[in-house]
Amino acid sequence: MSDFSEELIRPTTEDEQAEPCVSSGTGMYFPWLQKRIETVATGGKQEKDFGQTTSACFGFIREALLKHQWQKAAEYMCSYLQILEDSDSNKRQLAPEIIWRLGSEILYYHPNSSVETFNTFADRMKNIGVMNYLKISLQHALYLLHHGLLEDANRNLSQAETWRYGEKSSSQEVLINLIQAYKGLLQYYTWSKKKTELSQLDEDDYAYNSASQTMLSHSWKTSINLCALIQIPGVWDPFVKSYVEMLEFYGDREGAREVLTNYAYDEKFPSNPNAHVYLYSFLKREKAPREKLLSVLKILFQIVPSHKLMLEFHRLLRKSEKEEHRKLALEVLFGVLDFAGCTRNITAWKYLAKYLRQTLMGSHLAWVQEQWNSRKNWWPGFHFSYFWAKNDWKDDKALACEKALVAGMLLGKSCSPGATEEAQWGRFAQKPKQPSWNIGRVFVTRCGSWWSNCSSELCGLEHACWP
Partner 1 sequence: MDLEEANEFKERCTQCAAVSWGLTDEGKYYCTSCHNVTERSKEVINTGAIPNTKIQAINRGLKRKRKPEKGWDWYVCEGFQHILCQQAEALQTLGVGPELKDEVLHNFWKRYLQKSKQAYCKNPVYTSRKQATVLEDSPSHSDWDSEPELLSDFSGPSFVESGAESQPDVHTKKPFPTIKASQSETTSVCSGSLDGVEYSLRKDKEIVKMTVPRTLAFCYLSLLWQRETMTLSDLLRFVEEDHIPYINAFQHFPEEMKLYGRDKGIFAIESWPNYEDIYKKVIEMATFLDLPRFPDITEDCYLHPNILCMKYLMEVNLPVEMHDLTCQVVKVTGIGEVDFLTFDPIAKKAKTVKYDVQAVAVIIAALKLLFLLDDNLEWSLSNVAEKYNEGNKEDKPWFDFRKWYQVMKRAIDEKKQKWEEARAKYLWKSEKPLYHSSIDRSVVYKRREMVVSLQKQFSALTDSTPSVEKRSPSSFQFNWTAEDSDRTCFHGHSLEGVLKQKGQSLTTKNSLYWLSTQKFCRSYCKHVTTYEESNFSLSYQFVINLFSFLLRTKPSLLHEEVSLVERRLFKTKYITTKKKSSRSRKVRKS
Of 153, 162, 160, nearest to 134 (Cα)?
Answer: 160
- Per the CB < 8 A criterion, the answer to whether 352 and 337 are in contact is yes
Stretch that binds partner 1, among 77-85, 239-247, 388-396, 435-443 (CB under 8 A): 77-85
Long-range contacts of 220-223 (CB under 8 A, 24+ apart): 221/184, 221/187, 222/184, 222/187, 222/188, 222/191, 222/246, 223/184, 223/247
Stretch that binds partner 1, among 46-54, 192-200, 240-248, 441-449 (CB under 8 A): 46-54
Q: Scanning residues 320 to 359, which ones bind partner 1 (CB under 8 A)?
A: none
Give the residue with the Cβ less far from partner 1, 85 or 204.
85
Cβ-based neighbours of 273, under 8 Å, separated by 6 or more: 300, 303, 304, 307
Of 299, 350, 288, nearest to 328 (Cα)?
Answer: 299
Task: Return the sign of the alpha-carbon dihedral for residues 357, 413, 310, 283.
Answer: negative
What's the chain's Rg over C-alpha atoms? 35
Kindly write out the interface string for residues 97-116 of this chain, putting x where it contacts partner 1 by CB under 8 A and - elsewhere.
Answer: --x---x--xx--x-xx---
Least CB distance to partner 1 at residue 62 (A): 12
Q: Per rule CB under 8 A, is residue 82 in the interface with partner 1?
A: yes
Q: Per rule CB under 8 A, is residue 77 in the interface with partner 1?
A: yes
How far apart (Å, rounded) are the C-alpha atoms in residues 412 and 423? Answer: 11
Least CB distance to partner 1 at residue 99 (A): 8
Q: Per rule CB under 8 A, is residue 49 in the interface with partner 1?
A: yes
Of 211, 139, 200, 207, nearest to 175 (Cα)?
Answer: 139
- What's the CA angle centered on 226, arms 221 and 227, to 5 degrees? 105
Q: Per rule CB under 8 A, is residue 121 in the interface with partner 1?
A: yes
Q: Per rule CB under 8 A, is residue 278 in the interface with partner 1?
A: no
Given 2, 26, 162, 373, the residue binding partner 1 (CB under 8 A): 2
Q: Per rule CB under 8 A, is residue 59 in the interface with partner 1?
A: yes
Given 165, 208, 378, 437, the residue binding partner 1 (CB under 8 A): 165
Cβ-based neighbours of 288, under 8 Å, separated by 6 or more: none
Given 94, 98, 130, 211, the residue binding partner 1 (CB under 8 A): 130
Q: Per rule CB under 8 A, is residue 48 in the interface with partner 1?
A: yes
Of 419, 429, 432, 439, nearest to 466 (Cα)?
Answer: 432
Least CB distance to partner 1 at residue 78 (A): 5
Of 55, 53, 57, nearest to 75 (Cα)?
Answer: 57
Of 149, 58, 50, 134, nearest to 103 (Cα)?
Answer: 58
Least CB distance to partner 1 at residue 284 (A): 49
Q: Per rule CB under 8 A, is residue 1 in the interface with partner 1?
A: yes
Total residues belonging to the chain: 467
Phi, psi angles (nearest 5°) of residue 138: -65, -45
Given 40, 43, 45, 167, the residue binding partner 1 (CB under 8 A): 167
Give the residue with the Cβ less far from partner 1, 110 or 298.
110
Size of site (CB under 8 A) for partner 1? 63
Q: Per rule CB under 8 A, is residue 85 in the interface with partner 1?
A: yes
Q: Per rule CB under 8 A, is residue 164 in the interface with partner 1?
A: yes
Give the residue with the Cβ less far from partner 1, 3 or 321.
3
Given 42, 71, 210, 217, the residue binding partner 1 (CB under 8 A): 71
In 380-402, which positions are buried (b, 16+ CB within 10 angstroms) versus exposed (e)? beebbeeebbeebbeeeeebbbb
- What's the CA angle centered on 214, arms 209 and 218, to 5 degrees? 145
Give the residue with the Cβ less far from partner 1, 93 or 213.
93
Stretch that binds partner 1, among 162-170, 191-199, 355-363, 409-417 (CB under 8 A): 162-170
Of 372, 359, 364, 363, nearest to 413 (Cα)?
Answer: 372
Stretch that binds partner 1, among 36-44, 80-88, 154-162, 235-243 (CB under 8 A): 80-88
Question: For binding to partner 1 (CB under 8 A), which residues are involved?
Answer: 1-11, 13, 15-16, 18-20, 22-23, 29, 31, 48-53, 56-57, 59-60, 70-71, 74-79, 81-82, 84-85, 87, 99, 103, 106-107, 110, 112-113, 117, 120-121, 124, 127-130, 164-167
